[in-house]
Amino acid sequence: MKFSKPSQLFGVSMIGLLAATLVTACQIVTIDYVFLASSAGTGNSSGEIDVFAADSETGALRQAVSPVSSGGNSPVSLAVTSNYQNLYVANQASNNIVHFSIAYNGDLTKQDEVTLSSEGTVPVSIAVNNAGTRLYVVSADLPGNIPGAVLAAFSLNSSGAIGSPVKNGSLDYWPLVVPGYAGDVIVPTSVTSIASNNAVYVTAYDQSAYNPGGVANSTANPGWVFGFKSSSGAPLYGTAGSPYRAGVKPTGVAADPTNRFVYVTDYASNELIGYSIESGYALGFLLNGPFKTGNEPQAVTIDQRGKYIYVANELDSTVSAYSIDLSTGTPSAAINVTGGANNSTDAQPVSITIDASLGRFVFTANHLGDSISGFQLNPNTGTLTPTENSPYPSSASPTAIITVPHGSHSTESVTP
């Protein structure tokens, strides 16, 4: 049977259209870029940032662009501006904060950096306020050094460049000191800025009072949260009653998007401590806390809707999932489809994040596993299921993880 030329052309066109449709259907659509800081990079780098693309349907990760140097040694913390155009990396061993611009394809370009001025001072954790006008840096000194544990606030211009630190009188920082125990060694662990830009909270523990394997020579409470009032262009001021007791060894801190609650992981007590944000941004304990976690909870994150909390448990290699009672802030366990409250990761998760675009996926940086574990988040229940082919290999010894939306994807940010 022969076909006329018009029929042949029509047939070829239809076949081509069908093939194109099939190819399009199989294409992976990137919903987010996932940035992972690793403290033991490949080749000549001792600090590296991996860039992964997350599939919009499955959450599966693939390498988006080649890894880049973190601009220093031993990166420990990452932060991004709310417009997702700027990434900041704190390099502990080289004592610097490096600013990168983020391209449409996830590529990173170094823009500028700042080196912490005090000798022996090392950055521990960083955060950017929601307005994109301040970079908060928590640093620690070697025991006995001056100024000790501090919080600094660096100004950011409209392009994200790091400017001068905000002045505290003649100082460039705010000391973290437990009242009545000025000589104690304070070890800061994390920092967060609330969505309204009006407060900053820093977790720390008193090593003089809590020193496993060493000598504890202080009677102070070991764990603390330091609160500061904050506004663009003005100095920081301690909130009433700050610092607040925070168990034994607080490690991670997160604030809900409605500026009502703060949650802290207590690594030593295997607990999640909840606070309400009260008048003047002071903190008050949630009455029915603290709340049980897995063993050695290291990091905590809250979804963009303020409905669910996820905790990375370092010793267990698990993630604990909680739903938030929106009236009281009380976390209650979100039971997994397998019947347990915990979700297995690769070895030693030390950082956790939720995809910034739609809040549908949860990722952990696994320090001993040299990998990222991925989970799909059920938006109706908060339960987690592993993403396709999780965990995903990474550079060695990852320490921090964060996400940004890809391109023009809308972001999930709904007031509960």
Provide the pLDDT for residue 46.
80
Q: What is the pTM of this model?
A: 0.90
Q: Does 114 fall in a domain?
A: no
172 in any annotated domain: no
Whether the CB-CB separation of 8 and 42 falls below 8 Å is answered with: no
Amino acid residing at 263:
Y
* Cβ partners under 8 Å of residue 208, min gap 6: 181, 183, 184, 185, 216, 217, 218, 220
Q: Is residue 278 part of a domain?
A: yes
Closest to 353 in 3D by CA, of 56, 94, 80: 80
Q: What pLDDT does residue 116 have?
A: 87
Under DSSP, the state recorded for 7 is: H
Containing structural domain, residue 95: 35-108+192-405
Element containing residue 272 per DSSP (H, E)? strand 271-277
- pLDDT digits 0-9 by tens, 224-240: 999 999 876 678 999 99
Give pLDDT, residue 120.
Answer: 57
pLDDT at position 119, please?
53
The pLDDT score that the predictor gives to residue 143 is 56
Q: What is the CATH number of the domain that holds 61?
A: 2.130.10.10
Residues of the chain with pLDDT under 50: 1-26, 43-44, 409-410, 413-416
Residue 411 lies in a domain: no
Question: Tell me, what's the pLDDT at 334?
Answer: 73
Tell me whether residue 151 is in a domain: no
CB 154 within 8 A of CB 137: yes
The whole-number pLDDT of residue 29 equals: 87
For residue 53, what are its two tokens? 């693309």
pLDDT of residue 4: 47
Q: Is 120 within the bounds of a domain?
A: no
| 61 inside domain | yes
Query: Is residue 163 in some structural domain?
Result: no
The count of domains in the chain is 1
CA distance 387 to 176: 40
